[in-house]
């Protein structure tokens, strides 16, 4: 059967698209497969985590989450300036800032991969044809070639792989931003704890000085009694030994203060001498003594390390999507337009114009398992991120429970020691009154004073421990941090969080 030209044209237009469609289906069918590669990690459900038995007798407050400037609760205004100085000058913050800049740069790089590229080139070359190369055998021919072109290239994101890679970079950048808040919290907590240690050691130094004066007074009294023949040499030797022991305790207390000052100077990002310019701290109060309500549910948005771990799970989720897109065909569009001529006067003429359009479709057919291995590695990273998130959440809740129970126990111990100190104070006052009335000797006064100093020393140490533990509770509860983005929590499998937002805002 014969067909005219018009029939051939119509049949040709029908055959070519159909053939192209069949070719595309065959190409997709021939793609490398990721069947059988699935993540195994499941995010822990908060409903499975219980701390009711651990904190059953703990005081609960409905609005007791730490404030962003929680250190003001300690009662010393000088601490605010020290913490702000540390946040401004500490190398720890510089490290965290540098990591955030690097993560944001990675976001920019991933974003650039989604956009087309356009570049231009201009060239000019001058050449001489030799007699050997000239087919006519004349040689000594000079020519000048001029070229000007612009090139366009765009990889079409057919399967959303580049967008997923960009979202993965955003998730990691967001996690790194939260790491910055975690670094600031850790630094402020360390400064506050060092300041508490300095305050406590100053109080112990005062007691050590009083103890030395007491030991000297006893030694002088025993010396007078020995000279008067009212006591033997052994009593004097014991009192002299007490003086030497008190001097050693005083030196140890002074060294503790010096060491505290050096540590503070280092934390402030300065040299050790900076610590010796710090004024003596005022008496400090605990930062937090009760537990806020709904701790497990709220903790995932109020602890920087938990929030950062959650964002890293989201980042790995997006990276899995990006890796899976590598298994599908890739479409690249490229074009070129420009001018090329050996004659300068005709450079921009119609005859010097040149252009090209080059669509290209490629797909992996056999790549030796590289894509599957890469996806398998990424899904292992996802499982690792989930495991680290679960570990962080469980550890955080455990730290909160342990710390709040320690705070409550120390508070009860402090009340007992305060009663012991008050009784020792009354005994000392009574002994002093009896001495002034001539009923007893001064050695009895000094003996009761030793009991009082011992009680004061125990109370100072325990009070410092209580304030320090209350600061650790503040840190365990997130130190006033609250993530505004509030990444959703999934009970298992792939989390379905929204795409992260650009970093740089104050969380």
Instruction: For residue range 165-222, list pLDDT tens digits in order.
Output: 998 998 898 899 899 999 999 999 999 999 999 999 999 999 999 989 988 888 888 7
- Which pLDDT does position 62 carry in this prediction? 52
pTM of the predicted protein model: 0.79
Q: At 281, list the tokens.
A: 């701290």
Q: Which of 262, 265, 258, 249 is nearest to 206 (CA)?
A: 249
DSSP one-letter string for 121-175: EEEEEEEEE-TTT-TTS---EEEEEEEEEEEEEEEE-TTSHHHHHHHHHHHHHHH
Burial (CB count within 10 angstroms: exposed 0-12, middle 13-18, buried 19+), residue 268: buried
The token duo for 365 is 């057919």
Cα–Cα distance for residue pair 462/189, rounded to 1 Å: 19
Judged by DSSP in three states, 117 sits in strand
Rounded-to-integer distance, Cα 125 and Cα 232, Å: 114
Encode pLDDT of 134-156 as tens digits: 666 666 777 777 788 889 898 88
Label residue 31 exposed, middle or buried (CB < 10 Å: 0-12, 13-18, 19+): middle
* Distance of alpha carbon 320 from the chain centroid: 24
C-beta separation of 443 from 217 below 8 A: no
The pLDDT of residue 89 is above 80 = yes
Of the candidates 255, 275, 254, which has an alpha carbon nearest to the alpha carbon of residue 195?
A: 275
Helix (H) or strand (E) run with residue 21 in it: helix 5-29
Please name which of 24, 90, 29 lies closest in space to residue 269, comparing C-alpha atoms: 90
> Are the CB atoms for 287 and 107 separated by under 8 Å?
no
Tell me which DSSP letter residue 429 carries: H
Token pair for 60: 């609960």
- Sorted by sequence, the CB contacts under 8 Å of residue 151 that are 6+ apart come out as 118, 119, 120, 121, 334, 335, 336
Query: Interior CA angle at 413 toward 407 and 414, to 5°?
Result: 90
Query: What's the farthest any 2 CA atoms get from each other in the chain?
Result: 148
Burial class (CB in 10 A: 0-12, 13-18, 19+), 18: exposed
In this predicted model, what pLDDT tens digit does every residue of 280-314 receive, in sequence order?
999 999 988 777 766 666 777 788 998 899 899 99
Q: Domains in the chain, please, with CATH?
A: 36-116+163-328+369-476 (1.20.1600.10)
Rounded CA-CA distance 174/64 in Å is 27
**Which residue in 265, 155, 247 sits closest to 208, CA to CA?**
247
How many Å apart are CA 402 and CA 95, to the nearest integer?
A: 31
Residue 26 has a CB neighbour count (10 Å cut-off) of 9
Tell me the angle at which helices 370-436 and 295-302 cross, rounded to the nearest 10 degrees.
Answer: 110
Is pLDDT of 469 > 90? yes
- Give the percent of the chain with pLDDT over 70: 79
Residue among 293, 280, 125 at smallest CA distance from 204 = 280
pLDDT given for residue 351 in this prediction: 73
393-430 pLDDT tens trace: 888 888 888 888 888 889 999 999 999 999 999 988 89
Indicate if the alpha-carbon torsion angle 316, 321, 325, 327 is positive or negative.
positive
Please indicate whether residue 265 or residue 481 has the higher confidence score (pLDDT): 265
The residue among 257 and 327 whose pLDDT is bigger is 257
HSE (side-chain half, CA atoms, 13 Å) at 11: 7
Give the least confident one: 4-13, 107-116, 289-298, 496-505.
496-505
Rounded CA gap, 54 and 36, in Å? Answer: 43
Pick 72 or 23 by higher pLDDT. Answer: 72
Tokens 């990691």 found at: 172
Residues 188-198 have pLDDT tens digits of 999 999 999 99
């Amino acid at each position: 059967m014969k067909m005219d030209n018009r029939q051939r044209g119509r049949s040709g237009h029908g055959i070519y698209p159909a053939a192209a469609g069949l070719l595309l289906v065959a190409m997709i069918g021939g793609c490398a497969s990721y069947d059988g590669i699935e993540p195994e990690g499941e995010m822990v459900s908060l409903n499975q985590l219980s701390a009711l038995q651990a904190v059953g007798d703990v005081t609960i407050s409905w609005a007791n989450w730490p404030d962003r400037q929680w250190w003001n609760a300690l009662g010393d205004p000088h601490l605010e300036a020290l913490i702000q100085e540390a946040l401004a000058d500490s190398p720890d913050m510089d490290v965290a800032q540098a990591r955030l800049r690097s993560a944001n740069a990675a976001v920019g790089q991933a974003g650039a991969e989604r956009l087309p590229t356009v570049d231009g080139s201009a060239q000019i070359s001058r050449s001489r044809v030799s007699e050997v190369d000239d087919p006519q055998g004349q040689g000594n021919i000079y020519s000048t070639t001029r070229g000007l072109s612009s090139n366009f290239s765009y990889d079409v994101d057919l399967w959303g792989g580049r967008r997923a890679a960009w979202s993965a970079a955003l998730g990691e950048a967001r996690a790194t931003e939260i790491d910055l808040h975690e670094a600031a919290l850790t630094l402020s907590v360390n400064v506050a704890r060092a300041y508490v240690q300095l305050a406590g050691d100053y109080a112990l130094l005062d007691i050590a000085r009083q103890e030395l004066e007491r030991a000297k007074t006893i030694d002088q009294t025993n010396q007078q009694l020995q000279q008067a023949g009212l006591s033997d040499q052994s009593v004097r030797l014991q009192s002299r030994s007490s003086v030497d022991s008190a001097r050693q305790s005083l030196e140890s207390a002074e060294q503790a203060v010096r060491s505290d000052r050096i540590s503070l100077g280092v934390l402030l990002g300065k040299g050790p001498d900076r610590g010796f310019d710090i004024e003596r701290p005022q008496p400090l109060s605990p930062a937090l003594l009760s537990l806020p309500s709904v701790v497990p549910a709220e903790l995932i948005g109020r602890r920087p390390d938990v929030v950062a771990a959650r964002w890293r799970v989201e980042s790995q989720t997006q990276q899995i999507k990006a890796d899976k897109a590598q298994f599908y065909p890739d479409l690249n569009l490229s074009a070129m337009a420009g001018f090329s001529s050996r004659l300068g006067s005709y450079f921009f003429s119609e005859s010097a114009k040149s252009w090209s359009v080059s669509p290209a479709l490629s797909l992996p057919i056999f790549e030796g398992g590289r894509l599957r291995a890469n996806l398998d590695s990424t899904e292992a990273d996802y499982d690792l991120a989930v495991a680290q998130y679960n570990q962080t959440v469980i550890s955080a809740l455990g730290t909160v429970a342990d710390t709040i129970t320690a705070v409550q126990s120390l508070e009860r111990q402090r009340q007992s020691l305060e009663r012991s100190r008050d009784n020792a104070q009354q005994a000392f006052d009574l002994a002093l009154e009896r001495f002034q009335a001539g009923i007893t000797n001064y050695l009895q006064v000094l003996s009761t004073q030793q009991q009082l100093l011992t009680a004061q020393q125990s109370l100072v140490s325990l009070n410092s421990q209580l304030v320090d533990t209350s600061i650790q509770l503040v840190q365990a509860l997130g130190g006033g941090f609250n993530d505004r983005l509030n990444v959703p929590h999934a009970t298992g499998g792939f989390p379905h969080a929204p795409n992260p937002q650009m970093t740089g805002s104050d969380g």
